[in-house]
Structure 1
Amino acid sequence: MKGYRNYIILIVLLFGALVMLEYFRPKPVDWSHTYTRKEKMPFGTYALYDLLPSLFPKKEVQEVREPIYNLLQDSTLSGNYVFIHNYFEADSVDTNALLDFVSRGNQVFIAAENISRFLTDTLKFDTHHLDNNTPDSTALYFTSQQKHLVYTYPKNQEAVYLEADHKAGHVALGRNKAGYLNFMKVPFGKGWFYINSAPLAFTNYQLLTQDQSDYAATALSHLPVAPVYWDEYQKQGRMESQSKFRVLMEHEPLTWAYYIALASMVLFLLFKSKRTQRIIPVAEPPRNTTLDFVKTIGSLYFNNGDHKNIAEKKIAYFLEHLRLQYHLSTNTLDEELKDRIVNKSGANEALVANIFNLISSIRESNSITAQTLMMLNNYLEEFNAQTSIRPKANA
């Protein structure tokens, strides 16, 4: 037992060491392109969202977690609507609401590599991916700056450029060193659309790791100082429920703890219910009570002293046995019947004669003694013993 205890302690220590190692192990960097404002991973926008109050002083910065149409139903709404994501999605209803919002003198800033066809067709421009991935394609500058400062966003990323119809009044604001347009503004009504094809330039990696926050700040400085509506709906969907489960799902360790606790509870209920299940009773096969019934009736007759009645029933059962087993007529107990019984059953001739004589004596008597009944029983048992082990004679 002591040896087993040492093994158990060793296993517990090893398991604890494994848990601690997993807990303190550095987590791998998540390079997912989320663009969400709460994410501090390289391609989140936590740093930029934190920078907005200084870019738009004394103006409200509001996170939007609903579709474009829902927000812009309020026609009195004014300011800058900012979208930064890999893909800008808007159906015809959302696009019309956005066009109406800009036409009233507001601004929409979109930084995306792919833009909804409803908007590109209306504003007469398109996005294209560069086939080659040269340093020039990821080196960006603003055309409005007299001395072109070059900003580089993460290498090994596929560059996207804008192709615009110059007759539609588009104004170039930025290009890459290869000469392709990547930032422009498009007039619509009293307002402007600002289109940028390099959303990675607005991420945490660009602002913090590359220390190039000036690019995002310069791009957004084209917008007037007005309230900012920061879209998170296209990246996260609607606002989550404010229940406690939302907190569990936001943090990976808490999420795993919740799932493990839930699985443990299910296993406990399964095994607990199995251990406390009601015992199924053993079903005994039905008993043949015929013999018990016969013994009871026999005891009743014997105790009442009616020995002849018992003897007559034994005689009737014996004669019935002869009829069924040997197909003999037992109406008359004569010598011919005795000989046929001896031949067919193989029983001793003297025994059969004794049985016949005793049956005749009992039938002629009004009553018999217990000794006579016992004699009849012994004769019949001896007959059954002889006929059960000796072969039957042919008819």
Structure 2
Amino acid sequence: MKKKQLLVIAITAVLVIVLAYLFMPSRKKSAVFDGRVTLGINDKNPYGCYATYQLLSQMYPRIPVTSNRKAPAEWEKISLDSTRQLVLIVAKYFNPTEDELHYLSVLAAQGNYIVISALEMNYDARKFFRLQQMYLDAQKGDVVLEGQPMIRVSHKFGVRVANSAQSSATTFDYPGVDYSNIFTLIDTAYLQPLGYNGRSELNLAGVISGNGAILLHTAPVTFTNFFALYHNNYRYLQQMLALMPGHPSRIIWDEYFLRGKVAVEKGMLTAVLQHHNFRWAFWLVLVVTVLFLITGVKRRQRLIPWHPKPVNDSLEFISVIGKLYYEKGDHTNMAQKMTQFFLEQVRQKYQLDTQDIQPAFAQQLAAKAGITPQHAQDIADYILKTKAGKIDATELAAFYGLLHDYYKTT
């Protein structure tokens, strides 16, 4: 067996074994805590927001709860003409443009309410809302504080909704990561302090905008499954949303700012490659396919040997036959054989009528074979002499010479 065939078989065997390992039912393993902070409403990991999104329907029965992934300029589920809409924006890094900030401001002024819970805001947002906050480089990754474990049982992160830092309002805490920020400075003529963390540092502020309001929040971890489902922490969300007067007409959870505007719309391949097993299987199949194309795409057949161009052996045949008849002295018989062979060749090659050698035969032969009219006429004359049985050695030699030149030319 050839080496290339052995290589293909070996690679195929390895592929089958690896795929079988990847897709076989996994054995029971010890539970591993998923510490990724994803904040997605479809994420059921501890730091996803699936549970909180589902709780909204229980907190506000008979009020529609939907999600949005469109930019403010492309809103379909959020209407600038409606009122009492509650828009929740939960993100790691709130990175709006000036136009998007304008859209949000107009939406609030129409009598709607917006909650922006983000670890960090860009410069345009901080300038627009007249505040300052700690720089944490929220775009760096899922873990804000490098070197800290995502779960620290000895540490409790707490928040509370209150009118002042000294308020005795209920504090909600949980034994998870302190994935939050604080406002270091706000314009109190524009913003109103509304909530603090466990260290009495400001993390919630609000601004009245027309007939509505905007809440700014720096602890998006409070919207996660881990925090909301720990003891009665869902009441923190209730108290925060209770700052909005009345009941909303509908609730929209906005994910446009969650993972960056470019990454919101994902293709099918991108979604598949997010899973570890599928990602390894995809790249393995791709590598094996490339190797197969390199080693097996060539045609496996014997090379066609080179053959020289066939030679015209008519001259050799005529020469041999001619010598035999010439030695016997039967010139007429030899001329007849030469004539018979010539006329057969003319019929097959040029489809000319050779039954009766007419004057037109010479003209047609000259035109078809590419010889001179005189050459064709001389051949026709010797054919007629041969059929009459009157040809001697000299004429036979001349006839042979004419046919020899004809075969060389054609």
Q: Select which of 19, 23, 26 maps to 1:23.
A: 26
Kindly indicate whether residue 81 of structure 2 is the aligned counterpart of residue 58 of structure 1. Answer: no
RMSD: 4.9
Whether the 8 Å contact between 2:159 and 2:172 is mirrored in structure 1 is yes
Q: Select which of 151, 158, 179 maps to 1:139.
A: 158
Deviating more after overlay: 277-286 vs 225-234:
277-286
Whether the 8 Å contact between 2:203 and 2:217 is mirrored in structure 1 is yes
Separation of aligned partners in 1, 2:135 and 2:157: 12
Whether the 8 Å contact between 1:183 and 1:196 is mirrored in structure 2 is yes
Q: Select which of 203, 208, 215 maps to 2:236.
A: 215
Question: 2:89 maps to which residue?
Answer: 83
Question: 1:283 maps to which residue?
Answer: 306
Whether the 8 Å contact between 1:64 and 1:231 is mirrored in structure 2 is yes
SS at match of 1:33: coil
SS at match of 1:178: coil
* Counterparts in 2 of 1:136 and 1:181: CA distance versus 1, 3 Å: farther
Q: Residue 279 of structure 1: CA displacement?
A: 6.9
Give the counterpart letter for 2:197 in structure 1.
N
The answer for unaligned runs of 5 or more in structure 2 is 1-13, 137-143, 330-392, 394-410
Whether the 8 Å contact between 1:144 and 1:173 is mirrored in structure 2 is yes
Q: Select which of 219, 227, 232 maps to 1:198.
A: 219
Q: Select which of 67, 72, 79 maps to 2:71.
A: 67
Whether the 8 Å contact between 1:129 and 1:159 is mirrored in structure 2 is no
Question: 2:346 maps to which residue?
Answer: none
Q: Select which of 39, 43, 52 maps to 2:47.
A: 43
Question: 2:133 maps to which residue?
Answer: 127
> Equivalent residues in 2 for 1:326-345 (5 A)?
none
Q: Residue 36 of structure 1: CA displacement?
A: 0.8
Q: TM-score, normalised by structure 2?
A: 0.57
Percent of matched pairs sharing the same residue: 17
Q: Residue 174 of structure 1: CA displacement?
A: 1.4
Question: 2:209 maps to which residue?
Answer: 188
Separation of aligned partners in 2, 1:19 and 1:255: 8
Q: Residue 15 of structure 1: CA displacement?
A: 7.6
- Larger gyration radius, structure 1 or structure 2: 1
* Counterparts in 2 of 1:116 and 1:285: CA distance versus 1, 3 Å: same
Q: Residue 217 of structure 1: CA displacement?
A: 2.8
SS at match of 2:326: coil
Separation of aligned partners in 2, 1:259 and 1:158: 34
Give the counterpart letter for 1:231 in structure 2.
D
Separation of aligned partners in 1, 2:205 and 2:212: 14
Q: Residue 46 of structure 1: CA displacement?
A: 0.3
Give the counterpart letter for 2:52 in structure 1.
L
Deviating more after overlay: 47-56 vs 128-137:
128-137
Kindly indicate whether residue 106 of structure 2 is the aligned counterpart of residue 111 of structure 1. Answer: no
Question: 1:228 maps to which residue?
Answer: 251
Q: Residue 64 of structure 1: CA displacement?
A: 1.1
Whether the 8 Å contact between 1:200 and 1:206 is mirrored in structure 2 is yes
* Counterparts in 2 of 1:144 and 1:270: CA distance versus 1, 3 Å: same
Q: Residue 270 of structure 1: CA displacement?
A: 5.3
Separation of aligned partners in 2, 1:164 and 1:268: 60
Separation of aligned partners in 1, 2:276 and 2:177: 32
Deviation track 1:34-77 (CA, whole Å, cap 9, x = no partner) reads 21101101211001001102222322212112112322564235
Deviation track 1:211-237 (CA, whole Å, cap 9, x = no partner) reads 633323322232342021110222366
Q: Residue 197 of structure 1: CA displacement?
A: 0.5
Q: Residue 109 of structure 1: CA displacement?
A: 0.5
Whether the 8 Å contact between 1:129 and 1:161 is mirrored in structure 2 is no
Give the counterpart letter for 1:140 in structure 2.
V
Question: 2:8 maps to which residue?
Answer: none
Whether the 8 Å contact between 1:69 and 1:94 is mirrored in structure 2 is yes
Give the counterpart letter for 1:23 in structure 2.
S
Separation of aligned partners in 2, 1:119 and 1:178: 25
* Counterparts in 2 of 1:253 and 1:238: CA distance versus 1, 3 Å: closer
* Counterparts in 2 of 1:175 and 1:93: CA distance versus 1, 3 Å: same
Whether the 8 Å contact between 1:129 and 1:158 is mirrored in structure 2 is no
Deviation track 1:66-99 (CA, whole Å, cap 9, x = no partner) reads 1123225642354111111111222111111111
Task: Give the structure with the higher percent helix.
Answer: 1
Whether the 8 Å contact between 1:137 and 1:176 is mirrored in structure 2 is no
* Counterparts in 2 of 1:248 and 1:43: CA distance versus 1, 3 Å: closer
SS at match of 1:163: strand
> Equivalent residues in 2 for 1:255-274 (5 A)?
259=282, 274=297
* Counterparts in 2 of 1:24 and 1:248: CA distance versus 1, 3 Å: farther
Separation of aligned partners in 1, 2:218 and 2:270: 34
The higher-RCO structure (CA 8 Å, 6+ apart) is: 2
SS at match of 1:234: coil
Q: Residue 108 of structure 1: CA displacement?
A: 0.9
Q: Residue 198 of structure 1: CA displacement?
A: 0.6
Separation of aligned partners in 1, 2:297 and 2:326: 61
Separation of aligned partners in 2, 1:171 and 1:137: 26
